[in-house]
Amino acid sequence: MEEQPQPASDISAAPHEAAPEAHSETHSVMGSVADSPLAPSDTPAPAQEAPVEQGELRPIWPVRPGAQRALSAHRYALYARIVATACAALFFYVGWAPLANAITSGDLHGAPTGPVYRFGLNAAELGAPPLHALAGSSFFSLWSGLTIAGLLLSPLLWQSSLRWLRWIAIALYTCWYFIMTGIIIATAQEIFTLPSLLRQGGTFSQTLFPYSMRVAIYSISPAFGLWLALLAALLGLAAAALTAMSIITRRHTFAPIIPIAPTIQGEVITPNAIRPTRSLPGAGAITGGLILWAWGFFALPWATLNCSKAPLLIASCEGLPVASALQIGLGAVRSFFEPSAALYAITGLLLIGAVLILAAVWRREITRTLCVWASLWLALALGSVGLAINGAQQVVANALSVGMPTGDWRADSGVLVVFLALVLVSIGLIPLWAVAIRAAQRRDAQRAAGL
C-alpha cells in the first residue's frame, strides 16, 4: 500500500512527531477508522491514542452487504446436516425394529411348528420387499449394507476441505434415502394387505429369512416401527428443504472479504491457518488402538470349544466369532431390535467407521465433527463389547439354550485385547478434542471478522 503524503502545514507544525513506521505491530493490525483505506483522506488523525491492552483487542471491520445472508446460509447448511444425520440414525434403527406385531406358530430354535408366539416382525424377516425378489438369498447382506449406508455417508456431509467429495456424498445420500423409503413403503403395503389375506384363508405362511424357517401367521397388526419410519422419511424431506434454503440464500450473498483478524488472545491468523501442519498429538494412540481393536474384535475368538493348551495336537477347537457372540447378546432386546443385525450391519458399521476415522486423522482433518463421530464410534464399540461379552458368557454357561453345540466352552483372549484397544483409543481422543476446540475458536473468530 502506498503511503499517503502529508500536507506541508502538518509537517511544519509537528516536525517532532514519530514516523508512521514507529507505530507498534498491534496498531498496524488493529488500525483506526482514520487509518482505514475506506475512510476519507481528509479525516484528521487523532491527536493521541490511548494504549490498547492485549485482552481488549476489538477489531473494527467494514460490514459487507451480504454478510448477514452468508451467516443465514451457514446456519441452514448446519441444520440440514444435523437433520440428515438424525434421519440416517433413525432409518438404521427402523431397518431392524419391529414393523408389525404378529401371532404365529413356530419355534425360532426348533421345528417350524410349535407353540403360539407373539413377536414383532421387521423388514429383514419379511424379506425387505422387493430386495428378496431381486437378489434372492443374498438380499440379507444387501439389506444390512443399506441400513448403515446413511450413517457412513453422514461424516462426509460434514467435512468441508474436499468440496467434490461432499457433493458426491450428497448425491449418494439422496439415492440411499429414496431406496430406503421405497423399501419401507413396500414392506408397509405388505403388512397392511396381510390382514385381508388372513381373513380369506385363515393363515398365512411366511419365511423368517435370517433364521431360514417358515412360520404360520394367524394375525398381524402395525407396530411402532412404521410410525418411526414415517418420522425418518419426514426428516429426510426437512433436510432437503433446509439444503435448498441454504443454496438459495447463498446465491443472493456477496461473499465477504475476510481480512487478517486478531483473536481474543491477540493472535493474528489468516484464512488458511486452520489446518494443523505439525505433528498431531493422539494420532498414534488412535491408530494403534484401532488396529489392535480390529485384530481382537474380528480375528480372535471370544469363546472356544474343547481347546486345551496344545489344541493342534490333542484337541480340535471351535471358536465363537464376535458376530455370533453379539447376536446372542442381543437376544434379550429382540422385542425392540433384531439380533441378526449383528451379523453384518453392526460389525460393518464399526469396521468402516474405524477406517473413516483413521483417514480423517491422518489427513489432519481435526474438527469437532470428527471428534464427535469418533466419540460416538467409541460408545458403540463399548456397547458392542458389553453385549458380546454377555453372549459369550451365555454360551459358556449353557450353550444348548442359545443353539450352540455342547462341550467344554471357555472364554478366550479377544475380550481383553479389545478392551485394551478401546482404552488406547479413548486416551488418544483427549488431545484431538483439544486441537479441534482450538481450531473451532479460530474459525469462529475468522467468521466474525468477515461480518
Which pLDDT tens digit goes with each residue over 208-234?
777 777 788 888 888 999 999 999 999
Q: With bands split at pLDDT 50, 70 and 90, how would you rate the model's confidence at 106?
A: low
Q: Taking 50 as the threshold, does the pLDDT of residue 9 lie above it?
A: no
Q: How many domains is the chain partitioned into structurally?
A: 3
Q: 66 or 147: which carries more pLDDT confidence?
A: 147
The reply to whether 140 and 191 lie within a common domain is yes
Residue 95 gets which letter from DSSP? Answer: H
Q: 160 or 308: which carries more pLDDT confidence?
A: 160
Prediction pTM value:
0.76
CATH number at residue 118: 1.20.140
The reply to whether 222 and 283 lie within a common domain is no
The reply to whether 248 and 283 lie within a common domain is no
The reply to whether 194 and 253 lie within a common domain is yes
- Residue 139 forms part of a structural domain: yes
Residue type, 17: E
Percentages of the chain per state (helix, strand, coil), in multiples of 5: 60, 10, 30
User: Cα–Cα–Cα angle for 407, 410, 414, nearest 5°?
Assistant: 135
Written as one string, the DSSP assignment of 251-262 is: HT-PPPP---EE
- Residue 3 forms part of a structural domain: no
28: its cell numbers? 498496524
Place of cell 401371532: 103
Q: Who contacts 296 (Cβ-Cβ below 8 Å, separation ≥6)? A: 413, 414, 416, 417, 418, 421
The reply to whether 311 and 235 lie within a common domain is no
- Residue 382 forms part of a structural domain: yes
Region 248-259: mean pLDDT is 58
Provide the H-helix boundaries in 159-282.
Answer: 163-201, 224-251
The reply to whether 112 and 251 lie within a common domain is yes
Domain housing 243: 64-257
* Mean pLDDT of all residues belonging to the chain: 77
Distance between start and end Cα atoms, the chain = 23
Provide the H-helix boundaries in 252-367.
Answer: 283-294, 311-314, 322-329, 341, 347-362
Q: Taking 50 as the threshold, does the pLDDT of residue 33 lie above it?
A: no
- The mean-pLDDT minimum among 141-150, 198-207, 274-283 falls in 274-283
Which pLDDT tens digit goes with each residue over 36-75?
444 444 444 444 544 544 444 444 444 455 567 777 888 8
The reply to whether 218 and 284 lie within a common domain is no
Q: Who contacts 442 (Cβ-Cβ below 8 Å, separation ≥6)? A: 263, 269, 273, 274
Instruction: Tell me the C-alpha distance between 425 and 282, whole Å.
Output: 9
Q: 67 or 423: which carries more pLDDT confidence?
A: 423
Region 425-437: mean pLDDT is 90
- Residue 268 forms part of a structural domain: no
